[in-house]
Structures are given as C-alpha cells and as structure tokens.
Amino acid sequence: VEHTFSIIKPDATKRNLTGSVNAVIEKAGLRIVAQKRVQMTRAQAETFYAIHRERPFFGELVDFMVSGPVVVQVLEGEDAIVRYRDVMGATNPANAAEGTIRKLFALSVGENTVHGSDSRENAAIEIAQFFAGNEIV
C-alpha cells in the first residue's frame, strides 16, 4: 500500500468545495489518512514548489497558493500516486478527462483545484513537509 500527498488548493477552499473534492477521492477508493486546513506562508509555498522556481509562472503560482487556506492531505491506497494523478486529471482543465477533479472543478491551469505528488520520492518529501508520522492514521 502506497501514500501520496494531496493539496486542495485555495480556489477550491474559497468555493467551499473541500467536501466535494473529498467525495471524488473517496469514491475512487483512496483513503484520507491525514488531513488539515492551513494557511501556507510564502516561504512554505516557495519551498514546496522549488522545482518550478525558474518557470515564468512561479511568482503567480506562489501568490495563488498563499491567497487563501489550503487543505493538505495524505491519501492511502494501492498505487496511490499514479491513481490520484488519474483522479485529478490533466494540469490544464481544458485537457482533463470527464469525471476527474480538475474537469469537474478547476477554473484554469493556474487555479486547478488540487495538487498530487508525481513520484514516490516527492511524495515522501512533501508528506514530511506537513505531517509528523503519528498524524498519519
């Protein structure tokens, strides 16, 4: 069984969609084994998305991620990392498949409702940034 890290982004918390997103996650058979609502600091957002530091949209991305509360989560399941990426849908909601979270809820490539880890290595790093081991149950 595998763990992945998820963020319900500010566009979703602003529109009161936390429960709607969680319903899609749970319907897909992923289990929410840790969850908290936090206001990310600019430093936290910059660290979290450090891999995109040189991209032209980095400033916009950090501004967005601190524009309101987010819900950080650990999801558990068989092949949770790849399966959650499937449930999320494509980064740009215009390209997202029917029934995916981004097709259902995302507003744009920037305001795209959720984050999910893209590898085992990154999942471990991202989970450790927000959760202690005894918070994952």
Q: Which of residues 47-66 bind ligand ATP (CB under 6 A)?
A: 52, 57, 60-61
Nearest distance, CB of residue 86 and ligand ATP, angstroms? 12
Q: By CB under 6 A, tell whether 82 contacts ligand ATP.
A: no
Q: Are 4 and 116 in contact (CB under 8 A)?
A: yes
Nearest distance, CB of residue 134 and ligand ATP, angstroms? 26
The set of long-range contacts for 87-93, using a CB threshold of 8 Å and a minimum separation of 24, is: 87/24, 87/25, 87/28, 87/30, 88/114, 88/116
Distance (Å, whole) CA 94 – CA 29: 25
Whose tokens are 């429960």? That residue is: 19
Distance (Å, whole) CA 119 – CA 125: 10
26-43 in b/e form (b: 16+ CB < 10 A) is eebebeebbbeeeebeee
Of 34 and 88, nearer to ligand ATP (C-beta) is: 88
Compose the 88-117 pattern: x for residues touching ligand ATP by CB under 6 A, - for all others. ---x-----------------xx-x--xx-
Q: Is 115 a catalytic residue?
A: yes
Instruction: Given the residues 115, 117, 126, 130, select the one marked as catalytic.
Output: 115
Question: How big is the site for ligand ATP, counted in residues (CB under 6 A)?
Answer: 11
Task: Cite the annotated binding site by residue number.
Answer: 9, 57, 85, 91, 102, 112
Task: Cite the annotated binding site for ATP by residue number.
Answer: 9, 57, 85, 91, 102, 112
